[in-house]
Structure 1
Amino acid sequence: MSQSRSLPPDSDMLVVRPGKWTLVIVTLLRAETLRFNELKRVSGGISQKMLTTTLRELERDGFVTRTMFATIPPRVDYELTELGRELLELADSWRVFAARNRTQVEAARQRFDTSGGEPAVRLIHSA
């Protein structure tokens, strides 16, 4: 029988686990409110299902608000909350990091792919 580990008191802290499209959607909402179809069009390849899932997660976590209008056809607008604007700062930092380290990441991928995904073997001799 396995014994459960005791979790530290602050273990219930918010954990943001962004999906592939999370930061894309957040950055698209940077300057303006967008409708669902506008987000789909400008996002560059996200499926309708994935966009719906991502927006729901962002709304659930308080990063995005959804405003529905009783029109025909129905209109739904999405915009960042104050919390979402703070997440946008992280997205911008990630973009800067990715741009600064692009060459290193591409080189690492090339080495990995060339090796067939096998790790380099390192022999460490202890004294």
Structure 2
Amino acid sequence: MENDIFESAVRTSGDLAGIFEFDSEGGYFYLFDLTKERGRQARGAICVGSRHADFQASDVSVRWNASEEIVGLYVRGNLWAAFDQHGRKFGGSYAALETPSIPAAVIEQFAEAQVIERGRL
């Protein structure tokens, strides 16, 4: 489908990746453990939105914070979902006129230093 979105960021060590997929069924943000065999890599999923989202691929990015302990999904510059390296989940449920429900302490982890965007899958 022409509105499908796939964005990812792999941690420098190559062991973990944040992956966002959006298609006609909706959008999910995943934490993948790349040291595991295929089919067993997903460590967690966060539902981000329904199939009627108002964003495009150019509005979405996946980034690791500077210490590479937390990976986040940004929609239009706002952190909407995140995983820490242990698989703890934050946020999700994107809505155009809403505010992300992510603890300030998690958001601050991205603001402390320059955010690193790493290799795509």
TM-score normalised to structure 2 length: 0.24
More strand by share: 2
TM-score normalised to structure 1 length: 0.23
Larger radius of gyration: 1
More helix by share: 1
